[in-house]
């Protein structure tokens, strides 16, 4: 079997070829126009666009559509490839949502490791003041890279959970558009490659937010970064579209919206944001990209009259911030809503009690998604926009606390008086709540204009968003990995190792996030490789060191988890079909889930979370024969 | 983000399967698939609306005179009017194509598609040659992309829209070609429907873009 039977190998080859073809094309056009043949920036940019197409063609995710354009029918193939070993389907285009879910998750974990490694490098640099081994520009490229890789990793993790779980939870045979689903995943691979490649053509030193004017003037790395984000953005858009259609049209009879497992509500709200807001980061980056490439001065304040005043026709960098944050604030809810859904999903299982206030939790996700669109200006209090705008943005932001609080209270209400089982997934859920609380409480401090002035662009913000993202995504994601590992593999992970992982990671994370906030209050700024050791009455260095050590401890915990999974995926103890005694549909079928998940359509006979109530079923999978 | 041919309608190519399902249950599956496709298509439009809204916001944010008044550059009003009329007319023929295939009138269907594609191409040529002045030997344009925010926004908005028109024309020609080979029927023509609603959507976008670029605000002289 040659390497190129694997779709991903063909894809990467296609990506290289696409890059070369794109560059040659650029040179050819330039020669035709009578210009100098080689210009690095256009060549790399066009090359990168072609490289994405090259990958998709190479991996084969466009095959069916290309056939359709010629009128050739393409029946969906179910099951592993006929002429290759079964495992190869995970490395090639496959239309089964369970395979795609695993592909998303594994690729997400890989990126998590790459992003984590980058973070460990610059954390080591920060452990002491002075410049040790990273230059100023490289440091800035690294923090931006860490941020964006982690965002990709989170989007992939979200995609993984949603793709694997949603069809199972609503008893659908697959997603609504399996081909689009595969395409949505494969966009991510060339996107990540471009992002990593950007480091080798100068990097990009403005942080993940890439504000112009810096991003409009920096190295070529920016173009590859923009295109990488573009690819991931397309993945978000087609993926969320697919999930929305699946949720709206493929539920079984009797499963009204308010009888779906609560995770589906979280995915629904998330997908609405992803479908729409993602366009804005695409547009804003595209505008910077064409400003660089074609001189279109959207954000260039110089104007056409040059030095003459009043300036006419000048662009405005603040516009970029509006467009960018119109995506990037709602984006934080893309990161956390699915995770919060996991928390709501798991709490009743491990407390053996009904979910407290199902409807309120479902609607609070929708409320967060909607209000989330109205608060982007809280990132711009010091941007120089009209002062008056600060007030509505401040109040709108504080309003988000209400639906978030609803979730907290219903979580407490669910645990209250329950017979709580402290298995590893439940520990991570409780860890998530504790960490998210820290993050959530620091939000209003930043949302209040007078307190944001000194804190903006300081490490306090870094501490805030690490707490929200760990509490809202990383901890719940790990809980989900432990919880559904037996469903995916049919085997049980090692419980002791899982608990050790938890008890290392949670306190380490508290130290990390509170430490970041602490150095921020002492005066440490974001995006600077060096700091004054006399800050914080000379205490800052020891705080920085503590944060670095905590970071390494977290990394160690994650390695422990991966080792645990790796060890037990094939040889662990058999888990049985429903080790957690869950009521959710995916646990009523065998583990690992067979190719066609459900033998017959689901019958919904009750409420999803009636744990502890006698004779209260939720779904049955057996065909009862009366229809 | 731009539309690529892949995005136009998830699975729109089911049209290609038109002749291959037979019988009642085949039709039921086809209808359910079409309902899903239709919903997917509308969600795609919702997504794209945000892209076009962002461009409109950019236009009204950036095109301001020295005293904050809404302004616009001097463009060729005649060119704008003609291309707009051509595009609106094309939507009529697209609709005719869809109605024709729904009634199994294949010849009408094919002719209408060709007229639509022709008008769409005429629109593109109008924008690229006449308004942009891509070929200064034929027509000299009014603005260059580098003319401050005026050039940037005119080229950004018309460019993004032209890209959608271009993909629409390609789609129409593809459907026409398949139609000539005997695909689609009165009962099964999701491919045609997808193409048609996409085309109307792109038209609708222009109905917002045209006044924003050509009509609203006082004109301002853009020096080169
Ligand atoms: C839901 C979980 C949340 C997540 C994932 C999150 C994430 C983030 C991120 C990533 C940033 C930094 C953006 C940058 O790079 O500049 C940030 C900043 C900020 N967050 Fe949150 N956040 C969350 C909740 C909240 C809440 C509940 C509030 C207010 C009630 C809030 C208020 C703010 C403010 C005002 C800033 C801007 C600080 C500044 O730059 O000066 N956040 N958040
Ligand atoms: Cu925000």
A620, containing H or E segment:
strand A619-620
pLDDT of A162 strictly over 50: yes
Contact with chain B for residue A185, Cβ under 8 A? no
B185 CB contacts (<8 Å, ≥6 apart)?
B18, B19, B101, B104
* Beta-carbon contacts below 8 Å between A and B: 158
Coil, strand, or helix at residue A491?
strand
Question: Is residue A424's pLDDT more than 60?
Answer: yes
At residue A77's C-alpha, the angle toward residues A101 and A64, to 5°, is 90
Q: Which domains does chain B have, with CATH numbers?
A: 42-220 (1.20.120.80)
Looking at A33-128, list the stretches that DSSP marks H as alpha helix, in order from N- to C-terminal side.
40-59, 63-69, 97-126
Distance between CA atoms of residues A88 and A86, nearest Å = 5
pLDDT on residue B74:
87
Residue of B7, B15, B38, B58 best to disrupt the A interface, most CBs of A under 10 A: B58
Average confidence score pLDDT of chain A: 93
Q: Do A249 and B39 touch (CB under 8 A)?
A: yes
Q: Is A296 on the interface with B (CB under 8 A)?
A: yes
Domains of chain A: 7-68 (no CATH), 94-301+314-621 (1.20.210.10)
**Ligand 2 centroid, distance to A104 Cα (angstroms):** 26
Helix axes A424-447, A401-415, angle to 10 degrees: 150
pLDDT, tens digit (0-9, with 9 covering 90-100), for A40-97: 999 999 999 999 999 999 999 999 999 999 999 888 888 888 888 888 999 999 999 9
B146: helix, strand or coil: coil
**Contact yes or no for A320/A211 (Cβ under 8 A):** yes
CA angle A71, A73, A77 (to 5 degrees): 150
For A10-19, what is each residue's pLDDT tens digit? Answer: 999 999 999 9
Q: Give the ipTM of the model, two decimals please.
A: 0.93
User: In chain B, count of helices (H) and strands (E)?
Assistant: 5, 2
Nearest CA in chain A to B144: A296
State the DSSP H helix or E strand holding residue A560, giving kind and residue range, or none if neither. Answer: helix A540-571
Q: What is the pLDDT of residue B45?
A: 97
Question: Cβ of A180 and B11 within 8 Å?
Answer: yes
The mean per-residue pLDDT over the stretch A248-270 comes to 94
**Residues A96/B40, Cβ–Cβ less than 8 Å:** no
pLDDT mean over B69-98? 94
- B contacts of A72 (beta carbons < 8 Å): 16
> What end-to-end distance do the CA atoms of chain B give, in Å?
30
Query: Cα separations (Å) of A170 from A255, A366, A480, B79?
Result: 8, 19, 18, 54
Q: What number does the ligand 1 atom closest to the CA of A455 have?
A: 41
Q: How far apart are CA A44 and CA A67, in angstroms?
A: 30
Atom of ligand 1 nearest to the CA of A461: 38
B15, B19, B35, B43: which to substitute to probe chain A, counting the most A Cβ within 10 Å? B43
Cα–Cα distance list, A616 to A565, A588, A607, B113 (Å): 34, 15, 8, 58
Residue in B146, B174, B183 closest to A296 by CB = B146
If DSSP states are collapsed to H, E and C, what string results for A15-53? HHHHHHHHHHHHHHHHHHCCCCCCCHHHHHHHHHHHHHH
Per-residue pLDDT at A303 exceeds 80:
no
Strands B71-73, B218-220: pairing kind: parallel
Q: Evaluate if residue A585 carries a pLDDT over 80.
A: yes
Best probe residue, ligand 1, of A140, A365, A379 (max atoms within 8 Å of C-beta): A379
Q: Does A228 touch chain B (CB under 8 A)?
A: no
Which pLDDT belongs to residue A615? 67
Cis peptide before A592 (omega within 30 of 0): yes
Judge whether residue A622 has pLDDT over 80: no
CB A539, CB A522: distance < 8 Å: yes
Mean pLDDT of A254-264: 93
* Cα gap A298→A287, rounded to integer Å: 7
**Which of B1, B145, B148 is closest, CB to CB, to A237?**
B1
């Amino acid at each position: 079997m040659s390497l190129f039977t694997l779709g991903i190998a063909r894809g990467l080859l296609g990506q290289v070829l696409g890059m070369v073809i794109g560059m040659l094309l650029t040179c050819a056009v330039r020669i035709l126009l009578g210009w100098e043949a080689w210009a690095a920036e256009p060549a790399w940019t066009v090359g990168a666009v072609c490289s994405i197409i090259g990958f998709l063609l190479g991996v084969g995710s466009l095959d069916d559509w290309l056939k359709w354009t010629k009128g050739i029918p393409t029946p969906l193939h179910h099951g592993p490839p006929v002429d290759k070993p079964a495992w190869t389907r995970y490395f090639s285009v496959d239309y089964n949502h369970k395979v795609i879910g695993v592909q998303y998750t594994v690729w997400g974990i890989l990126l998590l490791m790459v992003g984590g490694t980058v973070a460990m490098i610059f954390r080591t640099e920060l452990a002491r003041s002075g410049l040790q081994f990273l230059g100023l520009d490289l440091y800035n490229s690294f923090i931006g890279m860490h941020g964006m890789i982690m965002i990709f990793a989170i989007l992939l993790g979200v995609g993984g959970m949603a793709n694997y779980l949603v069809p199972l939870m609503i008893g659908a045979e697959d997603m609504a558009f399996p081909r689009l689903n595969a395409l949505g995943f494969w966009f991510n691979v060339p996107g990540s490659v471009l992002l990593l490649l950007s480091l080798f053509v100068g990097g990009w030193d403005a942080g993940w937010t890439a504000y112009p004017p810096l991003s409009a003037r920096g190295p070529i790395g920016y173009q590859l970064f923009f295109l990488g984000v573009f690819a991931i953005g397309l993945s978000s858009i087609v993926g969320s579209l697919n999930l929305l259609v699946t949720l709206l049209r493929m539920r079984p009879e009797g499963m009204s919206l308010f009888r779906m497992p609560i995770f589906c509500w979280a995915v629904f709200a998330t997908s609405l944001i992803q479908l729409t807001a993602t366009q804005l980061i695409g547009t804003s980056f595209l505008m910077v990209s064409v400003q660089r490439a074609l001189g279109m001065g959207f954000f260039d304040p110089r104007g056409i009259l040059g030095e003459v005043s009043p300036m006419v026709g000048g662009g405005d960098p603040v516009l970029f911030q509006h467009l960018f944050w119109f995506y990037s604030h709602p984006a934080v809810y893309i990161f956390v809503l699915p995770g919060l859904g996991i928390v709501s999903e798991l709490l009743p299982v491990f407390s053996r009690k009904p979910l407290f206030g199902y409807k309120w939790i479902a609607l609070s996700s929708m409320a967060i998604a909607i209000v989330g669109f109205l608060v982007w200006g809280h990132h711009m209090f010091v941007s120089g926009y009209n002062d008056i705008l600060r007030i509505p943005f401040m109040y709108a932001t504080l309003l988000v606390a209400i639906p978030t609080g609803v979730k907290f209270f219903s979580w407490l209400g669910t645990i209250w008086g329950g017979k709580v089982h402290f298995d590893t997934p439940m520990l991570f859920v409780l860890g998530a709540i504790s960490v998210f609380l820290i993050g959530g409480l620091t939000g209003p401090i930043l949302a209040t204009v007078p307190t944001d002035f000194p804190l903006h662009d300081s490490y306090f913000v870094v501490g805030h968003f690490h707490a929200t993202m760990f509490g809202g995504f990383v901890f719940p994601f790990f809980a989900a990995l432990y919880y559904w590992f037996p469903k995916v593999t049919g085997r049980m992970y090692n419980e002791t190792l899982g608990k050790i992982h938890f008890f290392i990671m949670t306190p380490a994370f508290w130290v990390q996030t509170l430490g970041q906030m602490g150095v921020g209050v002492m005066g440490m700024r974001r995006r600077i490789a060096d700091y004054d050791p006399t800050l914080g009455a000379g205490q800052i260095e020891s705080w920085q060191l503590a944060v670095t050590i905590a970071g390494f401890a977290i990394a160690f915990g994650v390695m422990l988890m991966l080792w645990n999974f790796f060890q037990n995926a094939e040889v662990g103890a058999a888990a049985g079909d429903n080790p957690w005694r869950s009521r959710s549909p995916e646990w009523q079928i065998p583990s690992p889930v067979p190719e066609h998940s459900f033998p017959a359509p689901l019958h919904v006979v009750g409420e999803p979370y009636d744990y502890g109530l006698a004779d209260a079923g939720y779904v049955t999978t057996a065909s009862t024969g009366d229809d | 983000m731009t539309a690529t041919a892949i995005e136009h309608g998830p699975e729109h190519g089911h049209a290609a399967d038109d002749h291959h399902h037979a019988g009642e249950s085949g039709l039921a599956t086809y209808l359910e698939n079409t309902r899903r496709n239709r919903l997917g298509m509308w969600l795609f439009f919702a997504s794209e609306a945000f892209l076009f809204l962002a461009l409109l916001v950019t236009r009204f944010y950036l095109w301001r005179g020295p005293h904050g008044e809404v302004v616009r550059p001097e463009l060729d009003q005649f060119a704008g009017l003609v291309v707009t009329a051509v595009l609106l007319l094309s939507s009529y023929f697209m609709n005719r194509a869809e109605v024709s295939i729904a009634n199994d009138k294949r010849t009408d269907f094919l002719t209408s598609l060709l007229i639509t594609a022709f008008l769409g191409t005429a629109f593109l040529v109008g924008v690229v040659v006449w308004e942009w002045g891509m070929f200064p030997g034929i027509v000299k344009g009014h603005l260059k992309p580098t003319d401050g925010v005026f050039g940037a926004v005119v080229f950004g908005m018309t460019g993004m829209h032209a890209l959608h028109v271009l993909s629409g024309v390609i789609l129409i020609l593809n459907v026409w070609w398949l139609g000539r080979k005997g695909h689609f029927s009165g009962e099964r023509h999701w491919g045609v429907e997808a193409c048609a609603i996409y085309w109307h959507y792109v038209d609708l976008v222009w109905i917002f873009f045209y006044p924003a670029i050509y009509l609203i605000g006082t004109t301002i002289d853009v020096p080169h």
